[in-house]
Structure 1
Amino acid sequence: MAFRPSQRMTSSLLRSRLNPSTSCPHPSRTHAAARLYSSSGEAPPPPLLQKLKGDLKTAMRAKDAARLTVLRSVLSATLNASKTASPITTDAKLVALLRKQQKASGDASAEFSAAGRQDLVDKEQAQIKILDEYVAGSGVEEASEEQLRTVVGGVITALTSEGAVEGGRAKMGDVMKKLLAPGGPLEGKNVEKSELAKIVKEFTG
């Protein structure tokens, strides 16, 4: 039987998409995101983030609704991340955020399709296409499955030689921490964490 979202779920999704004020941050929040990286003593913003902010102005002039929705959402998420222990400080982290936004739009598209709202499906697909454009043009290297397997195997070998394993088998959490640590083997690369975790699980059991 095809999945049918509950009335409450569908209504909530429809309200969030039909009412931009609930899903798109106010322009003042976008300006706040821009000021976030302008304070003295802070590292300059990632190049991709600078491009997004520039494209926001262009989209506003062109009244490109789909691109405005995407850019405002990403900049708002970047601002929110700045208030946590994991701020967006590199293009690689920003690409990871873009991919997260892609997944959210894909999930929403599936819900709207099940609800028979093709108009909203089209909007979500348009946003996914825009996100694809930024990911593809980011210049961030995307690690292949083969590369990930090689890196994971190397990290497990290193942990074993350091005596950092128990019972002759490395723990999945320790391997993931090593892989994703600042300065680690995957720094600066576009990596899907769920795919990485799947590979690590295969190695560690």
Structure 2
Amino acid sequence: MTLYEKLQADVKQAMLARDEVARDTLRMLVAAVKKQEIEQGKEITEELVMTILQAAAKTRAESIAQFTAAGRNDLVAKEQAELAVVRRYLPQQLDEAQTKAAVAALIGELGITSKKDIGVLMKAAMAKHKGVIDGKLVQKLAGELLA
């Protein structure tokens, strides 16, 4: 069963369970995948679905930060619930310690010695750990390690 098929099946399960948050979030994800399929004119791939899931998670995380700053706790709770649904389908992200170890290993592997080469490090880190590493955290840790 592909990830897209799992999303579709889970929409039905959420409907049966009367879980409105999961149902609405999953419907939005399925619609986003179909929209991309139509726009690109290609078949749905796991990579496409994963990209859409990552974008949805990022959008919700940013919304949570903005709503928290604005004091909108009702919307914060809604976005957190939706983010929890989206994260069920994403691979486990590396924590800060694991990311730091990965960045340090890449710095040694690539022979990077100055902050000027952070772009090369970022490209390598994002390619090697695609989907499981946070780019902002990599950039922050790289800056610390190369300081």
Q: TM-score, normalised by structure 1?
A: 0.52
Match of 1:192 among 134, 138, 144: 134
- Taking the aligned partners of 2:48 and 2:102, their CA distance within structure 1 comes to 21
Gaps of 5+ in 1: 1-43, 115-120
> Which 5+ residue runs of structure 2 have no aligned equivalent?
none
Structure 2 residue aligned with 1:141 = 92
Task: Determine the C-alpha separation between the residues in 1 that align with 2:105 and 2:133.
Answer: 17
Q: Which residue does 1:66 correspond to in 2?
A: 21
The structure richer in helix per residue is: 2
Shift of 1:201: 2.2
Match of 1:171 in 2: 117
After TM superposition, list the pairs within 5 Å mapping 1:9-28 onto structure 2. none
Cross-structure match for 2:54: 96
Q: Percent identity?
A: 19
Matches within 5 A, 1:1-40: none
Contact 1:143 1:191 in 2 (8 A): yes
- Alpha carbons of structure 1 residues 203 and 124: separation in structure 2 relative to 1, 3 Å: same
Change (3 A) 1:81 1:96: same
Evaluate the alpha carbon distance shift between residue 139 and residue 124 of structure 1 in structure 2; reply closer, same or farther with a 3 A threshold.
closer
Specify whether residues 93 and 180 from structure 1 end up closer, same or farther in structure 2 by C-alpha distance, changes over 3 A only.
same
Distance in 2, matches of 1:81 and 1:149, equals: 34
Of structures 1 and 2, the larger Rg is shown by 1
Deviation sequence 1:2-50 (CA, Å, 0-9, x none): xxxxxxxxxxxxxxxxxxxxxxxxxxxxxxxxxxxxxxxxxx84x3x43
2:64–2:80 CA contact under 8 A, matched in 1:
yes
Q: Which amino acid aligns with 2:132?
A: N
**Match of 1:153?**
104
How many residues were matched structurally?
Answer: 140
Q: Which residue of 2 aligns with 1:25?
A: none
**How far apart are residue 51 of structure 1 and its match?**
2.5
Q: Counterpart of 1:176 in 2: which secondary structure?
A: helix
Distance 1:139 1:96 in 2: 7
Give the Cα–Cα distance (whole angstroms) in 1 for the partners of residues 90 and 61 of structure 2.
20
Instruction: Supply the AA of the counterpart residue of 1:102.
Output: R
3-state SS in 1 of match to 2:74: helix
The corresponding residue for 1:29 is none
Deviation at 1:126, TM superposition (A): 3.1
CA RMSD of aligned residues (A): 3.4
